[in-house]
Structure 1
Amino acid sequence: MKKSMVTYTLLFLALSSFAHTNPVPLTANTFDGMWGLEIESGGVGWLHVHEDQGFLDAELLWIGGSVLPVSHVYLADENTLVVTRTYEAKKSENRTHTVTMTLRIKKSGDTLEGTMTAPKWNGSGETETKFIGKRMPTMPERPDLSKVDLGKSVNLFNGKNLNGWRLIDPESKSAFEVVDGVLVNDPVQPDHGAHISYGNLRTEKEYGDFNLKLEVNVPEGSNSGVYLRGLYEVQVVDSYGKPLDSHNMGAVYSRITPNEAAEKPAGEWQSMDITLVDRHVTVVLNNKKIIDNEPVYGPTGGAISADVLAPGPIYLQGDHGKVSYRNIVLTTIN
């Protein structure tokens, strides 16, 4: 028995030594960098692969939610990257499962092709979702905003109707209406019956770089968002009195944390002054600059495109909670 244990121990050490001395070399990792993902379901993702601390690591955005560290990432071979992410699924009052999403990704030049597999909720089989990825363009230098050439200003909301706006998904239900000159979104769910899928409202026109000014009123506990070019969500939420966080009022959702808290209490009108130039964002909330010309390295959850160079709409999140907008004015930047 003792001899057998010694034999197994030596074999284990030999295999461990081989595994540690013959890995796929990190220098073979051509996946390094940031990738915009277009997902076949119509969603958008973002993947950042790096070796900043001497080991392979990554952060992932998958359709919605936040940019989060992955559970694990490894090179199966020099042209195959495997990424896993886990999340908790509460099945009952006393049972929670850890669900694993697995992305297997192949690379050809600056293009990725991959599949994401995950178990179905009922445990009978799995889902498979295909996606493609493109390497993100290099981030430009921080622009000199004092030299910005302002163009024409346009009032995006006329205070009378929703002319110039439409739902992103025409199959969804709209909770937006004009009440006493104010654009109000109130996505009420029924006490009984099926959940209603409310839609997000976007401008008919699309824009490049711009300055956007608006006023917003957020009731207690409510939540919404203003998307810049359909890519970057500036958070609209009742976060008064909370510690600084990348999910607070005026933050670029899960990407840029405000440098100070400038929220007003719930139910008060608040002003937002947002500038987007060369993929850098400045946010002035209630006359305080809380984000100062900071780079945004990729889309946020809920983005409608992974193309960070293309023009896009302003869109207002409509599926979370009640919120009101007024005085929405966009000034183009040439």
Structure 2
Amino acid sequence: MRTWGGEQVEQAVAGAVALLRTAADQDWDGATAGRLEWSCRRTAEHIASDLLAYAGQLAGRARSAYVPFGITFDEGTGNADVLDVIETTGVLLTAAVRTTPREVRAFHPYPFRSANREGFAAMGVAEVLLHTHDIATGLDLAYEPPAELCEDVLARLFPHVQPGSAPWPTLLWATGRGDLPGRPPVTEWRWSNPPAVPAGRLILEGVAPAAARDLSAGGDGGFTWAEGGPYEGTRDAAGMTVKAYEAGVHRPEWGMFVLVRQEDGRAVGGMGFHGVPDEEGRAEVGYDLAVSARGHGYATEALRALSAWALTRDDVRTLIATVDRHNVPSQRVLTRAGFVAVREDEEEISYEIRP
């Protein structure tokens, strides 16, 4: 999978600044930015502040809150100067993304309290694209960023939004900035970085639709895999994630996770859910490991952690799993993780666990 982050931040910032420089002599304080209550000037300053904040979170490895600092503009700073600051803070975020290891996560409040370098890059790109649209609307400028950039942002930050026929109108609709035929107006929205669940020697990293698409097509999904991975079941699960995303029913907490070994950052397997809990609060779990990672207790460790994480949720009453009756190692994993056999036939055994 191609590296995503620094190049896309550069591309978004360059496009935004090039457009806004053509209107630097207009009255940005007196023009309202699109549907926002802010002026165009205030919105431009906000872009720079967000880019700096995201760079600071990654560089400082913030764990529990935003690093308490921000930008103060000198008296007499003009519109063109503000664009210089946007360019500068864009460079800082780009550098932070490119120099931060893939496995590092830093604090961001929505919705799972952290994001990795790809997440911060995607949030930075989204801030630039969306707020440049707001400013351009207020200044009566035409603006449409590259479709691929918009599609990437949607597939990383809006996994719950069904893709539309055109990425840019879909992104505007998903953030309450436009209408989409056949879909109701959006009045409240929030993007979503993939969750990460600690599991002893492992971290269970949620897989965004963009990574799932790459995995299902035979790529690595942006992970460095242990020998023999990803296994066939992981690629099949990634395909299920893509189908759910395209149907508009994917929810990141009920999707796919990759098991990443903390000691060396290598992915050793996949684990996750077949979909959201049903009306009775039942959700089905599945998993597999790369051949070289089997026999080390990774699956049991991960299943215990994921089950505990899921069973604390109000919408879950039972987790279930079904295994081939000849797959004794998988049966042992379920039993060690606290699952109990409840049904069996000539081919399969069904297990479940409750809070």
- TM-score tier, shorter chain, comes to under 0.3
Larger Rg: 1 or 2? 1
Give the TM-score, by structure 1 length.
0.25
Give the TM-score, by structure 2 length.
0.24
Higher strand proportion (structure 1 or 2)? 1
Q: Pick 1 or 2: higher relative contact order, CA cutoff 8 A, min separation 6.
A: 1
Higher helix proportion (structure 1 or 2)? 2
